[in-house]
Amino acid sequence: MMDAADTVWSVLLGQMVVAKQAIAEADPGRLEPFSPPRPKATEVEIAAFEIQTGQRLPTSYREFLSHANGWPYFYFDMDLFGLAELSGSGQHRLADELLTIYADDEVLDDIGLDHDALLPVAAGRGMRHLVAIVRTGLPDAGQVTWLDGEQVGRYPDFRAYFTAMTQFLMGQALRLRDAQS
C-alpha cells in the first residue's frame, strides 16, 4: 500500500518525465537532453549506504532515492545523484570541487552555510550548478541550496526543491510549445 509520500513522489516524478519529454519534443536543438530517472534504490541499498558512511540521509532525499536512484541530465547537464554518485562515482568529484570553490570564494559564508555541513546531491558537466543538502543531525538538516556562482534558491527540503524544478520545467515546456504555435 502506498503512503502519502509515495503518492507525492510518484506524481512529481511522472510530471517531471512528462515535462522533460515535452521539452525534448519542442526543442529542435535538443539543448536539454532527455533521460528518464534511474530505477529506485531499495531500502536495503539505502540502509547499506548509510551504514557504510555512518550518516543517515535526510528524509526527503531518502524518499527520492526510494523512487529514483538518481537522474542523469535532470536539468541540462546536471545530474541528480543516486547512491553510486554519493559513493564517489559519476559527477561526485566535480561536486566536491564545486563545493570547495564555493567555500573558498566565501559564497557559502555569505549564505550562512558551512562546507562540511553540506552533502552534494547534484552537479553538472561544464556548469557551475551545484545542489547540496544540509546533513542530518545539524541545524537546518535537510534544507537544500542550489548554487550557480551564488545561491539560486533555498528550499526547506529535497521534495520542495524537486517540486520547484518540476513546476519550472513544466512552465518551460508550455512556453516552448506555445512558441511553436
At the second CATH level, the architecture of 4-180 is 3-Layer(aba) Sandwich (3.40)
Identify whether the C-beta of residue 165 lies closer than 8 Å to the C-beta of residue 37: no
The whole-angstrom separation of Cα 55 and Cα 74 is 25
- Specify the DSSP element, H or E, that contains 154: strand 151-155
DSSP state of 13: H
How sure is the predictor about 2, in pLDDT bands with cuts at 50, 70 and 90? low
The whole-angstrom separation of Cα 75 and Cα 170 is 12
**Given a cut of 70, is residue 35 above it in pLDDT?**
yes
In degrees and rounded to multiples of 5, residue 137 shows phi and psi of: 90, 0
For residue 140, the one-letter residue type is D
pTM: 0.92
**Given a cut of 90, is residue 65 above it in pLDDT?**
yes
Tracing cell 547534484 back to the chain, one arrives at 122
The whole-angstrom separation of Cα 143 and Cα 85 is 20
To the nearest 10°, report the CA torsion of 56, 116, 108, 57: -10
Distance of CA 75 to the CA centre of its chain: 9
Better-predicted residue by pLDDT, 119 or 3: 119
Mean pLDDT for the stretch of residues 21-48: 88
Residue count of the chain, please give it: 181
- Specify the DSSP element, H or E, that contains 165: helix 158-180
| Of 95, 41, 35, the residue nearest 71 (C-alpha) | 35
Identify whether the C-beta of residue 26 lies closer than 8 Å to the C-beta of residue 170: no
For residue range 124-157, list pLDDT tens digits in order. 888 899 999 999 999 999 999 999 999 999 999 9
The domain segmentation of the chain, as residue ranges, is 4-180
The whole-angstrom separation of Cα 171 and Cα 177 is 10
- In the chain, the DSSP E strands lie at 71-75, 78-80, 118-124, 130-134, 144-147, 151-155
